[in-house]
Amino acid sequence: MLESKYIKETPLNYRKNYGQFFTPSSVARLMVKWVLRDNPKTILDPAFGLGVFYDETIKIKPNSQIFFSGYEIDNRIINFFNYHANNFNCRVNNQDYLQTEAGFFDGIICNPPYMRFQKFLNRHQILPKIEKKIGKKLVGYVNISSVFLLKSLKELKVNGNLAYIMPFEFFNAGYGKQIKKFLLDNNFLKQIVIFSNEKEIFPEAITTVCMLLCKNDGKQNSIKITIINTNEEIEKIADISNFYQKEIPPSDLPYNKKWTPLILSLFSEQKIPDDFSVISSYGTFSRGIATGANVFFSLTKSEIEKWKLDGNNLCKCITKSFQIKKPLFTESDFNILYKADKPVHCLDVKKIDNQQVIEYIKEGEKLGYHQRYLTKKRNTWYKIENRKPAPILFGVFNRGRLKVIRNFTTAINFTCFHSFYPNMYGQQLVNKLFIYLISEIGQSIIKNNKRSYGDGLDKFEPGDLNDGLCPNQKQFEMIGEQDVRKVINLINEDEKAAIQISNNLIEKIINAS
């Protein structure tokens, strides 16, 4: 295939810089069929790439007079395409789509680049123009794929059809609110297609993706929800608009709510009680400490001894996720890591009255750590955030089970974990919340707020966890202190049995609701 040849000849870093991953022809065919439904005379592909959508259009309508217009910013891929492709009825513009006035089209089809808008060099010139065109102010951390989508929707003619591949994360991300509102207010969105096994279908994808099918007809209909599991399933779909499992009224998809839990709840056997609370009722998850130079700030026993650093300018610290192997982390576990010369202390300068600390800071400056992105923004580059130890730690990145740690030490933590700080209501419920978070039921509910990045990798931001649902205070009272002690005492010795007990306790709560 053309894509295989290009991938083989093009370095991965180069493709990442342009946010490139390619659409399988089977998926492209479904999208093209949607766009061709009303016999368009003009079709736009804002991120042309190697022309898979154009190729599929020609296969389906070989003798058609459709004019296909494409935009592609990457000279390398343009030259690759020009050498291989038949350009009949097709014009590919070697321009940045976001900086052009493309016109209006009967059909638009796109697999846009995937990158944060901050990485776009000309964003300060582009963003005001896009905002003026769409009539909306965009947040600075919006994904560039969303900017592509909004611009394309503005360029879709009345009764035109649009098919876009999008990162699934925009359903939950803060920047996604603007896009979702625009889709709903204008009755564009007709169908959402979710790929449950994206690594089989999109082996090149760096994030979990979905497909949006839109039509500019102004009609408010229920939105169809489709889940596709395999490539073989795709090949059997003749008309994607007739292949769906669920429908949901637009009113059940509020733009200011996270859509992933709302959509996945349609397919889940695990029902969440209506009277569950949000985790933020009991406290707040915050990101771990971002030092900007972990190598400098994290210290082993031998490094502390070498530099003769005193304890007044050090604190215990979990610097890497793999340092904690079991769900309970105790002072004994910490001491084992310390004696094994693992980096489990952090430089925590209170005031410079120690010559050894001064020498260590000078060494850091000699190595340029004070000029790192985060360190140079601080008033005093070597002073970190003032944090207390968090009783519950939550893994930022997870595959399969979510990593939840009950921290019984006085160690703070770096950004490898999110930290839960209970409020006055959560102080007495920390162990019960921990039991909920390690239960299979609790994890399946919390996972509704995850951000998927492909290959089974899930990520959580603190806000995702704070918005997660859990039992209310009265429901937590159903878990007795004896049950709590049983789980806590057992979990490091027999994690599987402790999780099963936790699951039974949470299932009891749900059955009583």
Q: Are residues 363 and 439 in the same domain?
A: no
- pLDDT digits over 414-462, tens only? 999 999 999 999 999 999 999 999 999 999 999 887 766 656 677 888 9
Split into its structural domains, the chain has a count of 3
What pLDDT shows up at residue 229? 81
Q: Are residues 410 and 490 in the same domain?
A: yes
For residue 232, pLDDT over 80 is answered with: yes
What pLDDT shows up at residue 389? 97
- The domain boundary residue, chosen from 355, 384, 413: 384
* Kind of pairing between the strands at 397-399 and 209-215: unpaired
Q: Are residues 221 and 315 in the same domain?
A: no
For residue 176, pLDDT over 90 is answered with: no
- The domain boundary residue, chosen from 352, 384, 416: 384
Q: Average pLDDT over the chain, rounded to whole?
A: 87
- The domain boundary residue, chosen from 359, 384, 409: 384
Token digits of residue 512: 């009583």
Token digits of residue 200: 């089989």
Residue 165: give the domain boundaries. Answer: 2-264
Q: Are residues 10 and 42 in the same domain?
A: yes
- CATH (domain of 41): 3.40.50.150
Q: How would residue 119 be classed by pLDDT, with cut points 50, 70 and 90?
A: very low
Catalogue the long-range contacts made by 6-15 (C-beta closer than 8 Å, 24 or more residues apart).
6/50, 6/77, 6/80, 7/204, 10/76, 14/76
Q: Are residues 397 and 512 in the same domain?
A: yes
Q: Are residues 35 and 119 in the same domain?
A: yes
Portion of the chain with pLDDT greater than 90, in percent: 60
Q: Which residues, in sequence order, are bridge partners of residue 93?
A: 71
What DSSP letter does each residue of 19-71 carry, written as one string?
A: T--PPPHHHHHHHHHHHTTT--SEEEESS-TT-HHHHHHHHHSTT---EEEEE
Q: Are residues 357 and 460 in the same domain?
A: no
Q: Are residues 424 and 450 in the same domain?
A: yes
What pLDDT shows up at residue 492? 93
Q: Are residues 22 and 127 in the same domain?
A: yes
Q: Are residues 316 and 419 in the same domain?
A: no
- pLDDT digits over 372-418, tens only? 999 999 999 999 999 999 999 999 988 889 999 999 999 999 999 99
Portion of the chain with pLDDT greater than 70, in percent: 84
Highest mean pLDDT among 46-55, 155-164, 274-283: 155-164
Q: At 506, give phi and psi (nearest 5°).
A: -75, -35
- What residues contact 84, with CB distance under 8 A and at least 6 apart? 2, 50
- Owner of token pair 């939550």: 394
Token digits of residue 152: 């394309």
Angle between helices 430-438 and 495-512 (to 10 degrees): 100
Torsion over CA of 191, 195, 201 and 203, rounded to 10 degrees? 120
- pLDDT digits over 306-334, tens only? 999 988 899 999 999 999 999 999 999 99
Mean pLDDT on 135-154:
79
What pLDDT shows up at residue 200? 64
Determine if residue 308 is left, alpha or beta; phi over 0 gives left, psi from -120 to 50 gives alpha, anything else beta.
left
Q: Are residues 22 and 106 in the same domain?
A: yes
CA distance 513 to 174: 31
Do residues 140 and 173 lie in contact, with contact meaning Cβ atoms separated by under 8 Å? no
Q: Are residues 51 and 177 in the same domain?
A: yes
CA-wise closest residue to 502 among 91, 513, 485 = 485
What pLDDT shows up at residue 455? 60
Q: How is residue 282 annotated by DSSP?
A: S
Do residues 240 and 30 lie in contact, with contact meaning Cβ atoms separated by under 8 Å? yes
CA distance 473 to 476: 5
- Owner of token pair 């704070």: 466
Q: Which residues, in sequence order, are bridge partners of residue 406?
A: 328, 392
Q: How would residue 141 be classed by pLDDT, with cut points 50, 70 and 90?
A: low
For residue 116, pLDDT over 60 is answered with: no
